[in-house]
Copies of this chain bind each other. A is one copy, B any other.
Amino acid sequence: MASTPDLEIDPWQVREPAVSAESLPVTESLLSLSNGYLGIRGTLDEVEPHGARGTFLAGVHETHPLSYPEEGYGHPEEGQAMIAVADATPLRLVVDGTPLDIRTIEPESHHRTLDLRTGILERVLVWRTLAGARLELRSQRLVSLRERSLAAIRYRVRVLDGAAHVVVRSQLVLGASPPEVDSDDPRVADVLDHPFEQLALSHGDDGGALSAVTRRTGMTVAAAVRHVVDGADDIDTHAAADDHVVTTITAALTAGHALEIIKTFGHVWSTSTTAASELEAARAVVDSGVDRGWDGLVAAQREELDGLWAVADVEVEGDDELQQALRFSIFTLLTGTACTEGAPVGAKGLTGLGYSGHTFWDIEGFVIPTLSLLVPDAASRLLAWRASTLDAARERARVLGLQGASFAWRTIDGRETSAYWPASTAAMHVNADVSRAFWLHGHVTGTGPVPLGGLAVLVETARLWLSLGHHDLDGVWHLFGMTGPDEYTGVVDDNLFTNLMARRNLVRAAEVCEQLSQEAAELGVTPEETQRWRAAATAVHVPWDERRQVHAANTGFTSYQEWDFEENGHYPVQEHHHYSTIYRHQILKQADTELALWWCREDFTDEQIARDVDYYEARTVRDSSLSAGAQAVACAKAQHPDLAYRYLRECALVDLRDLQGDTEEGLHLASVGGTWLALTAGLGGLREDHEDLELAPLLPSQLTRMCYRVTWRGRLLQVETTRAGTTVTMLRGEHPVGVVIDGEPMEVAPGAPASAPLREPTPLLPEPNQPTGRAPRA
């Protein structure tokens, strides 16, 4: 495992003051740059040493065979894996015949800084060569937030003392980063080690271009690069191999003189355009970048980020580490989705190959609802991608013998690719999570679900639920054989979360169809059908343990054997125990009933919330990064703001402190969304699912102030909470809008904030305990 980097705490920067080779796998993820279309890991310019190189384009993937030791009907037969495209970052430096390698030199100083306001990753390295010269390398890298295909590096080598002969070999190279898939089937490596067939390669004096196509998915990728050089004696470009463009820049420098290279590059992909056109498109991207120039690119980047921070900044006082982590989360979220279109956002975004680049329900659960409140356009694009998979979801439902549509548990192209059905095909809640994201977006923006294909999503998921469930002899409606969000319980009857989410799915579908009766009729929806949806929703079974006075996560859950956390407290539990053992114990991997307390809040009284949180907190081991945010919200709702705050910290710091030990595989997008929600829906008590925006702020003892922004029905609101109270200010917008603070309806208008005093928490029970070793970290 890679070592955890030492990073400085700063409100607007992530700074590694002394670059560590051992921490590179982690810092490559943390210092990756992405615009949601193009992502580049934070590798060193000179390539070596590295953890995992990688330049990614959202949607570009290859398929591979899935081999089952025991076959079964309906198991997906193809896996999907995000694959790295050409790497345009390498700038290999040779000074007086010795390659720069931080493992062999002892730098006088070497730091890297990701600036969250400029969007630029800067590196400065000062060292003395064997021959005695002292040099400074300063490189700056950006992935444009204005032009999705464009990235650039400014690379400057300056001699501080003495003289040096400098050679830079700048590469554009395909196939340098084979993907990692957790399979020992040799056919998988056969496919993924060489996913591309080379199509064309060209080069001129100052750069070149290449194109290739994936062998199975038929995706054409193209990349181009050009160098603008100052201070060089010579520049020459050639093809080093048929997948490899090399530009060699040489300079003989004396003290005070510098070689500066602006390396501008572009990446494009398509499944419908010819390779020749893609190549031209890549070249045009580079033309545009060169035309803007480095300073132009920097200025545009700052403008874009200023715009994002204006609608999304968050401030806290009393915890500088948290302040930094919150801004880093928001930066990751907003840049990582800024230009995504026609492709999903994977669980790691474009920051690493973890989970093979697949998207999961966490994106609809935690990322899109956050975007709907911060940058609704980005949310729209992600929802539009999910809506575009409706036909694949319909086909999956058909294979499963069900009506409507069943969305994929994990996928890149929309088709199901999960190979362990108890944790995927049985986890039908993904459909309710998807439909919730559509519904919430329409509700938050005021646009309604129709423009994004949301009506069809709501209708087809409602049909799915109706065909999945059934009424028993007493007329109670059940969903059997489901797996809820918690993956340590599988294929159970009446998972509480799934039942309550299905209820909402059915009711919201009925309501929307009644509002939009003509559009609904085009989908074949009749009043009789919506009536059946409502009848099922009304009759849904809610598992309740009368003796313990808590909800049961599923029928029978509270009678399962208790887990001995003292004896068996090795985490993650799934790596030390067999599923057959885990499934029959009262142990949860992630928030399940606690998530229902939040997303299905109408179904719980305050006393139930207090008791359920108390019960499930003691049994949830949080072996998943997506849990802390939900637990923060549930604990805040149970009036434990200090505990919610600790969960918020864990969620926010999961990558900066590598709390899961796997940040090297990429950043945790669900935590990124969960962090903002832990703050706003958790401590802030923000709820966006009723008619007016609701707030119920609590301040943990460690914070003296928190302030965030949301876009609600087209208005930009700022919510600031101090010990004195909460003030909601309209920063943009022309018309008043209602908000509810601590249950009190108020109005916010331009220049007329709404205010309410800070309420003290009113817990019904003491702060709950967590399993041994599983109190919130960080």
Contacts and interface: CB of A to CB of B under 8 A. Distances in A.
A568 B67 contact: no
A578 B73 contact: yes
A559 interface: yes
Contact of A579 (B72, B185, B555): B72
Interface in A140-168: none
Interface string A397-409: 0011110000000
A421 B581 contact: no
Contacts of A426: 580
A419 B70 contact: yes
B67 A185 contact: yes
A447 interface: no
A561 to B, nearest CB: 4
Interface stretch (A120-128, A272-280, A285-293, A569-577): A569-577
A401 to B, nearest CB: 5
B69 A584 contact: no
Nearest to A423: B70
A187 interface: yes
Q: Which secondary structure dominates chain A's binding surface? A: loop
A69 B70 contact: no
Given A472-B559, A478-B559, A480-B561, A419 B580 contact: no
Contacts of A419: 68-70
Given A470-B561, A480-B561, A574-B73, A580 B425 contact: yes
A65 B421 CA distance: 22
Contact of A401 (B421, B556, B577): B577
B70 A481 contact: no
A422 interface: yes
A561 B68 CA distance: 29
A561 B476 CA distance: 12
A777 to B, nearest CB: 23
A567 B493 CA distance: 24
Contact of A481 (B73, B425, B574, B583): B583
A78 to B, nearest CB: 10
Interface in A361-406: 399-402
A478 B560 CA distance: 9
A400 B581 contact: yes
A67 B70 CA distance: 10
Q: Which of A399, A418, A490, A556 has the most CB of B within 10 A?
A: A556
B481 A67 contact: no
Interface band, chain A:
35 or more
Q: Which of A399, A556, A578, A580 has the most CB of B within 10 A?
A: A580
A74 interface: yes
B491 A583 contact: yes
Given A183-B67, A419-B69, A578 B481 contact: no
A269 to B, nearest CB: 26
Interface in A53-86: 65-74, 79
A547 B581 CA distance: 32
A388 to B, nearest CB: 24
A426 B490 CA distance: 13
A67 B421 CA distance: 16
Interface in A245-299: none
Contacts of A473: 547, 559
A31 B523 CA distance: 60
A612 to B, nearest CB: 18
Contact of A491 (B66, B183, B491): B491
A184 interface: yes
A73 B576 contact: yes
Contact of A421 (B561, B577, B579): B579
A556 B74 contact: no
A451 interface: no
Interface in A560-603: 560-561, 568, 574-581, 583-584
Contacts of A67: 67, 69, 183-185
A604 interface: no
Interface in A736-759: none
A528 interface: no
A478 B555 CA distance: 14
A766 interface: no
Q: Which of A184, A472, A575, A578 has the most CB of B within 10 A?
A: A578
B69 A68 contact: yes
B70 A568 contact: no
B182 A70 contact: yes
Contact of A420 (B70, B555, B583): B70
Contacts of A559: 472-473, 478, 480
A480 B584 CA distance: 6
Interface in A521-563: 547, 555-556, 559-561
14 contacts: A68-B68, A70-B420, A72-B574, A185-B187, A400-B578, A401-B568, A426-B580, A473-B547, A473-B559, A480-B556, A490-B491, A491-B491, A491-B583, A555-B555
Interface of A: 65-74, 79, 182-187, 399-402, 418-422, 425-426, 470, 472-473, 478, 480-481, 490-491, 493, 547, 555-556, 559-561, 568, 574-581, 583-584
